[in-house]
Structure formats: structure tokens, C-alpha cells
Amino acid sequence: MKLSVRTKSALSAVEGALIIGVFEEDKNLPGWIKSLPDKVDLLLKNAVKEDDYKGKFGHTLLVRGSANSKIRKILLIGLGKRDDWSEEQARKAAGKSRTALKSFRIRKVASSLFGWEVDPSIAKAQVEGFILSGYTFNKYKSKKAENNESIEIGSLEIINVFGENVAPLKRAVKLGRVFSDGAILARDLQAEPGNTATPTYLAAQARKIASASPRIKVKILDKTKIKKLKMGAFIGVSNGSQEPPKLIVLEYRGTSPKHKPIALVGKGITFDSGGISLKPGAAMEEMKYDMSGAAAVLGVFKALSELDLKENIVGVIPATENLPSGTALKPGDIVKTYSGKTIEIINTDAEGRLVLADALSYTIKNYKPSRIIDLATLTGSVVVALSTHATGIISNDADLTKKLIAAGETTGERLWELPLWDPFRDQIKSDFADMKNIGGKGGGTITAAALLENFVEDTPWAHLDIAGTAYLSGSLDYSPKGPTGVGVRLLLEYLSG
């Protein structure tokens, strides 16, 4: 989709569909609609009156252009009350307006800049909402939809209805595109089925991302190397599968190598059957999404190639399947991790923490990062606690937590902190090894984090459990049903801050 920013005078030349944001307080419509051609302003005034349209948040009203007008459709989108206005409201309103236009054969869309004054962060949010809400994944459907869904919106113009200056908005619109494209890549990778998105496939994606930027390097460690490094937990999980595991390492160089990097670690289980502790069949297909943390890291790196961040950033992805077989891990087995610490396996379905344990130690030992953030679809418990409405965050560093939570408020990817207290640590004490891989009844999200904590040493660390937020079973605002790409915009916001 082509994106551009236009000045107020462009209102006289709008083609296709025009979206106009209306606050409840503006129910008589904003004054600038006088600049529209073909007396569209009168059409709008009549329609608003006839339908008693009030601009309530998310409410839309479609008005058709007059017979000869280049504007075919005008969509009013309610922005709600000014007091409730925010970037997230702008994202939602843009998403809802795109959804409302879905059934029309529209190729060109223009939208008024939402809000009541020039605000670049709102322009960025509008672009995000518009791009993200239009997401579809249909590459495996042999018959392309014959209906209107196949009509793609080719261009979006954001019109600065407040004046003739577009300079400050151009960068914002580009950022909106780059953030969204990162999230869309993550969604595409998440959506790929497990028989395509294997560890080898993820490694190839990482190579592709690195080859697009001179500042990104990639290293892929294969099974022989992973074994040689004695990553007993990671290898243990991969042993159940025929599909070769990969440890994928991406390095982004944005400043002098003297600066310690920020590390991002993403769980890359390309299919989680549970292993010998096999999961029940219901909804097991969703476990193709168990690489959503990895997808988020790859989405961030794709975006990094188009941003100019003055940070060094390293991304690490332990990628493998978790399957049952004669060579799979068994309950009762004890693995020796890369760090030397041992873990007793009680349940082979608690595999994410095993691969992350080795990936976290590897990252800290080899990169000495200033902070480390991991993203993982780690526990069903976090879905019980927070549903799809927030990612759980557990951390050993208050400042990092505060900044990540703030970034989440900005991007609309909410985080909620859970406490890592000693009694949770006690839950994973083992009779036979340094720790065991599950903590028994209760607090499952936290006991998983309590295990990871053993592998981060003194490094400021935050663990994001995205099991509830990585994919949706029904559409929500600007995220259609399916993969959300959660974490990409959040981390980009954090890294840009």
C-alpha cells in the first residue's frame, strides 16, 4: 500500500473513499469540510442530521458521493469524547474505518488526520491501525476470493486538514509503516503452518533479514554446534524431533561496539505437541504459534533495517519442535544446561523454559548485554490470569519494567506485572537436580519465570509471557482473528525511547 501525506488543499482533489474522523463534540462536523469539492459538505450535513449521527466512538456513517464526483464514498468514523482520545483510540478508529470499507470496491483511500491539531504520533497510530486491520493470510487457499476481499487498497493519503504543513507528519507516517510491517512479518511467520515454518525456515528468514541491511549480521548454530556447546536442555527438547534445531543469532550494529547490546530472546518452538507429556488433541493446531516470541524478534530486526537506532541489539532464537518419539525427553530425565545447572524434567510440555534457559545463558555469556528481554508463549496460566488483554511481565529490574510497561501503553500492547517472590522459587525445588521444570499447582506463569531467573545472572531481565496475546480466536479492534504480531511494536517503541 502506498502511503502519503497531503496538505489541507488536497481535500479538493480526493479520489476513491474519504474517511473523516468526528468527535462527539463535533457532531455538526468539522469546519474544514467546506474545502471539499462538489458540495460534499452539504451531503454530509444532511446525512448527519437524517441519521442523528453523533460521532460516538467507533460508530460509522457511509455517505455516497454525488454522481459526477471523484469522491465515491465518505465514511464518517466516530472518535468519541476528546477526553478519552489517545494514540490507541486513533489506531482503533483507523482499524474500524478500514473494516467498514471492506465490502466496497475501493482502491484509493484518503483520511483526515484524526485529532484536533497536527499530532505526528496520531498520524503514526492511524497508519498502524489501518495497515494492521487489513491483514489477511490466504496464501494456501487455491481459489483467491472472487468477491471484494480480493480488491486491495492500493493507497492511503493522510490529509493534514489543519493546514499546509506535512513535514512533521511524513516521518511519523513512515514510522507507522515500518512498525506495522515488522508486526506483519511476525504475523506471517506465526501463521505459517508447522510443516513450513520449521527451525530451518526461521533460520532462512533471519538470513534474509540480515542480507537486507549492512548493519545486521546473522549466525546460525546447527545441531552439531549446539551439542558441542553442551546446551543439554535445548538439545533434550530437540531430541524428540527429526527436524534439525537451530540457534539463530542476529546482531544489529547501531553504535560503537564499546556499547553493550540490548538482547532480545524469542521462544521458537515451531510446533509444541507437549512431547511425551502429550497435549490433548483439542486446539493442538494452535501450537504452531509457539514460535511467536521468535516471530516478534524477527519482526523487530526487519524493522531495524529501516530505522536508524543508535543501539547495538542482539536477537537470539532457540528454534526446535517439541515432539514425542523414542528419543524424546521423558519425565524423570535430568538435563545439564549450558550454564552447568541441572534441571529435572517433570513434564515434557514445559519445554519453552528449557530452550530459553540455554538461550539466555548463551546470550549473557557471549554478548554481556546491558539488559535482556525474552518473549515467549510460555504458559497457559497467563491466559487464565490476563486473557488476551495483556502480556504478563516478570522482571528483576524495576526501571526496565517501568519502561516496557510505558511502551506497551503507547503501542496498545498492554503489560501487567506479576511478582517473583521466594515462595514461587521454592515451588521448583527438585529432589534430584538443581531445579525441576514445573512448579506444581498454582502460579504457573511465575514458576516458569522463576526457572528462567536462574539463567540470567545479574543482568537486568524482563520476561514477557505472550501466550494470551500472540493470537486471537476472534477479531479485536485492529487485529483480525489469528496471529497478532504482539511484541514487535512494543519492543520497537521501547528501543526507540
Catalytic residue ranges:
279, 353
Contact mark string toward Mn ion, 333..372, x via CB under 5 A? ----------------x-x---------------------
Contact status: 465 vs Mn ion (CB under 5 A): no
Amino acid at site 72: R
Tell me which of 349, 374, 477, 493 binds ligand BES, using CB under 6 A: 349
Nearest-angstrom CA–CA distance, 229 and 345: 20
Could you tell me the smallest distance in angstroms from the CB atom of residue 444 to Mn ion?
11
Contact status: 487 vs ligand BES (CB under 6 A): no
Contact status: 209 vs ligand BES (CB under 6 A): no
What stretches of 432-476 show up as alpha helix (H) in DSSP?
444-453
What share of residues in the chain are helix, strand, coil (percent, to 5)? 40, 20, 40
What stretches of 134-166 show up as alpha helix (H) in DSSP?
none
Binding to Zn ion (CB under 5 A) within 17-56 occurs at none
Nearest-angstrom CA–CA distance, 376 and 265: 8
From 64-72, 325-333, 375-383, 473-481, give the range in contact with ligand BES by CB under 6 A.
375-383
Contact mark string toward Mn ion, 435..454, x via CB under 5 A? --------------------
Residue 153, SS3?
coil
Residues 6+ apart with CB under 8 A from 423: none
Contact status: 272 vs Zn ion (CB under 5 A): yes
Tell me which of 272, 358, 374, 477 binds Mn ion, using CB under 5 A: 272
For residues 394 and 480, the answer to whether their CB atoms sit within 8 Å is no
Residues 6+ apart with CB under 8 A from 317: 202, 206, 246, 247, 248, 249, 265, 266, 268, 293, 294, 297, 298, 359
Binding to ligand BES (CB under 6 A) within 30-49 occurs at none
Amino acid at site 42: L
Tell me which of 303, 467, 491, 492 binds ligand BES, using CB under 6 A: 467
- Nearest residue (CB) to Mn ion, 321 versus 453: 321
Could you tell me the smallest distance in angstroms from the CB atom of residue 345 to ligand BES?
11
Grid cell at residue 6: 497531503
**Residue appearing with cell numbers 547501531:** 254
- Nearest residue (CB) to Mn ion, 251 versus 290: 290
Residue nearest to ligand BES (CB): 380
Q: How many residues would you count in the chain?
A: 497
Grid cell at residue 72: 465515491
Could you tell me the smallest distance in angstroms from the CB atom of residue 286 to ligand BES?
6
Tell me which of 350, 356, 407, 456 binds ligand BES, using CB under 6 A: 350
Contact mark string toward Zn ion, 352..371, x via CB under 5 A? x-------------------
For residues 276 and 348, the answer to whether their CB atoms sit within 8 Å is yes
Count residues binding Zn ion (CB under 5 A). Answer: 4
The residues that touch Zn ion, with contacts defined as CB under 5 A, are 269, 272, 290, 352
